[in-house]
Amino acid sequence: MANRKFTRVDRSPVARFQRHSIVRKVWFLCASALFAAGIGLAADSADPGRYIADVKALTTPQMEGRGAGTKGIVRAADLIEQRYRLLGLQPAGTKGFFQPFTVITGAVLKGANRLEVETGASKKQLKLNQEFVPFSFSSSAEVAAPIVFAGFGATAPEFGYDDYAHLDVKDKIVVILRYEPLGFSAKTPRGGLTEHSQLITKAINARNHGAKAVILVNGKLADGEEDALTRFGSVNGPENAGIVIVQARNDAANAWFAAAGKTLQGAQDQINSSTAPASFAFPGTLRISLAVSVESTRATVNNVLAYLPGKSDEFIIIGAHYDHLGYGNVDSLAPSQIGKVHPGADDNASGTAGVLELARLFAPMKGKLPRGILFCSFAGEELGLLGSAHWANAPTLPLEKAVAMINMDMIGRIKDGKVIRRQKNSRAFLFLGIAFGLPQAFRHLGEN
């Protein structure tokens, strides 16, 4: 959450969903704070049946996986808004309980998208989605230029490596390999891929060196691996990387390397064997013309915000995101199910239902607590924590009065009857106590 001055306390999943323990353990924290404040409320007042009913309501097929841009997420927002309203909580959005904002839900190819190779007097046009494909975060533009090979497209001073050293790429199209030199992993503590293997890093690096476009190729393939093109929209990135970027198949690139008296595999092997660049310019007779037209798709979604006043103008936030993946996307943990409804019971109907249950239990405490509570049901989180960031950047209550946040995301998985927090300590307990002005009640739990 950008620019926040309060502390966000996270809960992480490690096991399976069990309804009764979740409600009782979450409620125990809040009930303990109220008990220490002299406000009697039984710890078993939480209603597991009501909780699971909310989870089920949020995960019906009609909710369409609560994906941004679907009618289902509108239904989910209406359900949450109606619940807050019936509880008598105060609207805390910009339009009643709603705080609308616009998100980018994806991209589509529009108009002309082509890649044409010119070698002397001959021209060859590659087939879209068969021999080349744009990336969804490519700029929309037409480019015609000579091409150069820039290895893995990496500038890595920490490894003493730069594919762009002594290579003029200004106003040219760069051809780069997927991943990174094998020698990089040997120089990292854990031996894994570094940021230089990421496509968006390669694209930005090419742009910063003055290139007009990037063509990615798979290069040498592992045993049994196919020279497959990336499905359009399956790689995450910004809305616009500021440069045209496409992927072409090895077969096409091999002809370009042959024109330079080289092979694609040979160039890659040369780099990997020495961890030294092997960049070069292709013959001047070889030029490529690219046209890419990508159109972003957008939708308006709503944070749903409700306020319970306290005795002071300070407040804590109890929040969770209610959106999910809709019909699935690149982030799906079940890629074979993309195109089907992703219900999102744990992520995050569990947390949304938890916030609603806490709102129900706290609602009778209006004006009795030392601090108020802002109940936040965020949208746009699956697209990049957009809802929480939007609220932090355009807070509907004074941000300086927010003293802490309890994040209820993904509370639906427990292990051995316990909700597990993947944190260095148990400050979630401490923050809740401090938020209610009750540090003594929680101090003994602060550093476990």
The residue ranking higher by pLDDT, 431 or 327, is 327
Res. 213: pLDDT tops 80:
yes
Considering just the CA atoms, what is the radius of gyration of the chain in Å?
Answer: 27
Q: What is the pLDDT of residues 152-175, one digit of tens each?
A: 999 999 999 999 999 999 999 999
pLDDT above 50 (res 79): yes
What pLDDT digit, counting tens, does each position of 362-391 carry? Answer: 999 999 999 999 999 999 988 878 899 999
Whole-number average pLDDT of the chain:
83
**What span, in angstroms and rounded, lies between the C-alpha atoms of 207 and 139?**
11
What pLDDT does 425 receive? 35
pLDDT of residue 242: 92
Q: CA-to-CA distance for 128 and 101, rounded, in angstroms?
A: 34
Is-contact 309 29, C-beta < 8 A? no
The confidence band for 253, taking pLDDT boundaries of 50, 70 and 90, is very high
3-state secondary structure of 431: helix
In the structure encoding, which two tokens stand for residue 17, read together? 């969903």
CA separation (Å) from 415 to 30, 344, 347, 400, 409? 21, 19, 17, 37, 16
CA dist., res. 436 & res. 373, Å (int): 10
The confidence score (pLDDT) of residue 433 equals: 37
Q: Check pLDDT > 80 for residue 293.
A: yes
39 has pLDDT over 50 = no
What domains does the chain contain, in order, with CATH numbers?
8-105+299-445 (3.40.630.10), 111-292 (3.50.30.30)
pLDDT for the residue numbered 193: 84
Tens digit of each residue's pLDDT (9 = 90 or more) over 118-149:
998 899 999 999 999 999 989 999 999 999 99
> 3-7, 68-72, 100-104, 271-275: which has the minimum mean pLDDT?
3-7
User: DSSP letters of 226-268?
Assistant: --PPPPTT-S---S--SSEEEEE-HHHHHHHHHHTT--HHHHH
- The tokens for 412 are 């639906």
Determine if the pTM surpasses 0.75: no
Mean per-residue pLDDT, 319-333: 84
Indicate the range of 1-5, 116-120, 135-139, 330-334 predicted with least confidence: 1-5
Task: List, for residues 388-409, the tens digit of each pLDDT value.
Answer: 999 999 999 999 999 999 998 8
The phi-psi region of residue 88 (left if phi > 0; otherwise alpha if psi is between -120 and 50; otherwise beta) is left
pLDDT of residue 35: 43
Q: In this model, does residue 51 exceed pLDDT 60? A: yes
Q: What is the mean pLDDT of the segment spanning 302-331?
A: 92
Higher pLDDT, 19 or 356: 356
